[in-house]
A and B are shown apart, each in its own frame.
Chain A
Amino acid sequence: MRVDPSAGLTPMLEVKEISVRFGAVQALEHVSLTIHRGEVVAIIGPNGAGKTTLLNVISGFYHPTEGRILFEGRDRTHLRPYDVAALGVARTFQNVALFKGMSVLDNIMTGRLLKMHGNVLLDALYWGPAKKQELEHRAFVERIIDFLEIEAIRKSPAGRLPYGLQKRVELARALAAEPKLLLLDEPMAGMNVEEKEDMCRFILGVNDEFGTTIALIEHDMSVVMDISDRVVALDYGRKIADGRPDQVRADQGVIDAYLGVAHA
């Protein structure tokens, strides 16, 4: 869904005047932003601008010192990561965080833990409803595996895969949870051009096919221009721009931040 950011949309995530401080370091300062249902939003900024901190705050790994976060209209500022996950927010990490000892298939299956219900005893016996449930989840996971074109590696241990594929498996695990909001921390870091193109295709595909709202951090400006509906730029923990990709690219403040104009 390619949307015009100015059109009237339902907000999915509202970040209101968030500040995060680590000791003397002000990582985020009064940052506000809204992500609408169905949007692909890119968060950009130089190193140390606070992008990952923002993502960590949204997914509950950090808690803001000030400000509020609303998800689908409800306050969730102080939730913990697993509660945030239960609300329908999935994420990937800058340094791939896969379960390295498990197979690709098992990794993706863990993404469905929240969707599984049932009885430990029945699970153990692999009997009746437990078996049926496991098979249903397997079927869903196979769809994701198809979609991300990783059939060939599903039995391999995740830790042995090349980096680009690991990132793809991590995306698959996040998708297995059927998230409403997907947070991607540098999904294309360290990839070659071809891998980046694949990843772009997958991200847009997820957005199109599952209607998933996506917020991603990315450094490659050509990628950002290609796939995002809206771009938010951060610098020194403050939001310096928020708008259509072409607007943000032309923004003097953003150009200065990247080229390093002396701060008055």
Chain B
Amino acid sequence: MLDLLYAVMVGPVKDMLGAPSFLAEVVIGGLAAGLMYSLVALGFVLIYKASGVFNFAQGVMVLFAALTLVGLMERGAPLVPALALTMLVMGALAFAIERVVLRPLVNQEQIILFMATIGLNFFLEGFGELVWGSNVKKLDVGIPDSSFMVWGIQINRLEMTAALTAAVLVAVMAVFFQRTRIGRALRAVADDHEAALSIGIPLNTIWIVVWSVAGLVAIVAGIMWGAKSGVQFSLSLIALKALPVLILGGFTSVPGAIVGGLIIGVGEKLAEVYWGPLVGGAIENWFAYVLALAFLLVRPQGLFGEKIIERV
């Protein structure tokens, strides 16, 4: 019994303190992975806040964005024009989704909109493969997947770039939401549809804006994940990793998505490296979900989510 307690509580801590630079590498790796989760979670939060829709298709949007970019580059387009074109495609997609899916379903139950996004998920998956093919593609954005050393700690260039890009994107979005007219309108729509309509906010335009922004986030996430592990179907599965992030951070909070992602990223790396050997490894794949489950019991609204108080 004591041995077990020692192995779980003391051993790993001793390992951590014994090799601090290795610990730092693990944490940095976790933070980098976490920011990527955050990016995907952010796409969910944006759409959920503005239209109350849980967009099941967010993961496929990441895949679709990456596929489009790679596909264009394979056909000889240089990175920058290909990127611009991909943005246009995601914008057009947002427009089409508003027209074909959201507008006919306005004022329907949330669950119906959710089902619609499941449909969207399968459509985009099939459509992406139809246009760009289903083989694994390599995405080269010109950043080598190699490391450099700072104070004896190895840092991966690609992960670092991804982290910085994500940080900039998040900062820009925060300013956009807080300061601009459209940002204020977005917050209004997120809060109450009817009231927003009555003060002259065109819901349809707002939806297009939100889905476009979510598309943009998907592009960034798609590039970062794609550059790391190749553009393939499994990219869309990282959406599943965004779920625990959302539960941790709260469905309605942008800072929550960021912090939640970081916690999950660091948590699962630490768990894998230090506690994994105790149970034979492979903790990383399910650790996030267990963490989210534990969290649900304590704070169902998430770290930053709005507390649900119902008047009776």
The reply to whether B198 and A100 contact each other, CB–CB distance below 8 Å, is no
**CB <8 Å contact, B199 and A110:** yes
User: Are the C-beta atoms of B200 and A86 separated by less than 8 Å?
Assistant: yes
Contact partner of B195 (CB less than 8 A), chosen from A97, A109, A124, is A97
Is B176 within 8 A of A124, CB to CB? yes
Name the distance in Å between B216's Cβ and chain A's nearest Cβ: 14
Take A102-B187, A110-B184, A177-B200 as given contacts and tell me if A126 and B195 are in contact as well, using a CB distance cutoff of 8 Å.
no
CB closest residue in chain A, given B202? A82
CB contacts (< 8 Å) of A109 on chain B: these are 184
CA distance A177 to B200 in the complex (A): 9
How far, in whole Å, are A238 and B183 apart by their CA atoms in the complex?
43
Residue of A nearest to B188 (CB): A110
Contact of A260 with B by CB under 8 A: no
Complex alpha-carbon distance, A56 and B161, angstroms: 52
Q: Which residues of A contact B191 (CB under 8 A)?
A: 99-102
B7 within 8 A of A: no
B193's nearest neighbour on chain A, judged by CB, is: A97
Q: Are B184 and A90 in contact (CB under 8 A)?
A: no
State whether B181 touches A113 (Cβ < 8 A): yes
Tell me the complex Cα distance, A91–B199, Å.
8
A146 to B202, CA, bound (A): 29
The answer to whether A106 has its CB under 8 Å from any CB of chain B is yes
* Complex interface: chain A residues within 8 A of B181 (CB): 113, 116, 118, 120, 123
The yes or no answer to B192 lying at the interface (CB within 8 A) is yes
Smallest CB gap from B194: residue in A: A97
Which residue in A91, A123, A173 is a CB contact (below 8 Å) of B179? A123
B203 within 8 A of A: yes
Known A-B contacts A99-B191, A124-B175, A126-B179; A93 and B199 likewise in contact (beta carbons under 8 Å): no
B181 to chain A, nearest CB (A): 5
What chain B residues lie within 8 Å of A90 (beta carbons)? 198-199
Contacts of B306 in A (CB 8 A): 101
Contact assessment for A124 and B180 in the assembled complex, using a CB-CB cutoff below 8 Å: yes
Docked CA distance A118–B184 (Å)? 14
Interface membership of A245, Cβ < 8 A: no
Cα(A59)–Cα(B200), bound, Å: 11
Q: Of B176, B194, B197, which is in contact with the most chain A CB atoms at under 10 Å from its CB?
A: B197
CA distance A16 to B164 in the complex (A): 61
Residues of A within 8 A of B188 (CB): 99, 102, 110, 113
With both chains docked as a complex, state the minimum distance between the C-beta of B207 and any C-beta of chain A, in angstroms: 13
A111 within 8 A of B: yes
Q: How far is the CA of A245 from the CA of B195 in the complex (A)?
A: 31
Any A CB within 8 A of the CB of B182: yes
CB closest residue in chain A, given B179: A124
- Asked whether B201 lies within 8 Å of A82 as measured between CB atoms, the reply is yes
Within 8 A of A (CB), among B277-312: 306
**Distance, CA A100 to CA B196, complexed state (A):** 12
Q: Could you tell me if B195 and A98 are in contact, using CB atoms closer than 8 angstroms? A: yes
Q: Please name all residues of chain A whose beta carbon is closer than 8 Å to the beta carbon of B180 when the two chains form the complex.
A: 120, 123-124
Contact status A85-B194, CB under 8 Å: no
Does A114 sit at the interface, judged by CB under 8 A? Answer: yes
Does B248 lie at the interface of the complex (its beta carbon under 8 Å from any beta carbon of A)? Answer: no
Is B239 engaged at the interface, CB distance under 8 Å to the other chain?
no
Residue among B184, B185, B200 facing the most chain A CB atoms (10 A cut-off): B200
Any B CB within 8 A of the CB of A164 = no
B192 close to A100 (CB less than 8 A): yes
Closest to A122 in B: B180
Contact of A93 among B184, B198, B203 (CB under 8 A): B198
Contact with B along A71-99 (1 / 0, CB 8 A): 00000000011100110001101000111
Residues on the A chain within 8 Å of B197, using CB? 61, 80-82, 85
16 extra A-B contacts, CB within 8 A, seeds A85-B198, A90-B198, A173-B195? A59-B198, A80-B197, A81-B200, A85-B197, A85-B199, A93-B195, A97-B195, A99-B191, A101-B306, A110-B196, A113-B181, A118-B181, A120-B176, A120-B182, A123-B183, A177-B200
Chain B residues within CB distance 8 Å of chain A: 175-176, 179-185, 187-188, 191-192, 194-203, 306
A-B contact list, 18 entries, CB within 8 Å: A61-B197, A61-B198, A80-B197, A81-B198, A90-B199, A97-B195, A97-B198, A99-B187, A99-B188, A101-B191, A102-B191, A106-B187, A110-B185, A113-B181, A123-B183, A124-B179, A126-B179, A174-B198
Q: Identify the A interface with B (CB < 8 A).
A: 59, 61, 80-82, 85-86, 90-91, 93, 97-102, 106, 109-111, 113-114, 116, 118, 120, 123-124, 126, 173-174, 177
Pairs A-B, 5 closest by C-beta atoms: A85-B200, A97-B195, A99-B191, A123-B180, A81-B197
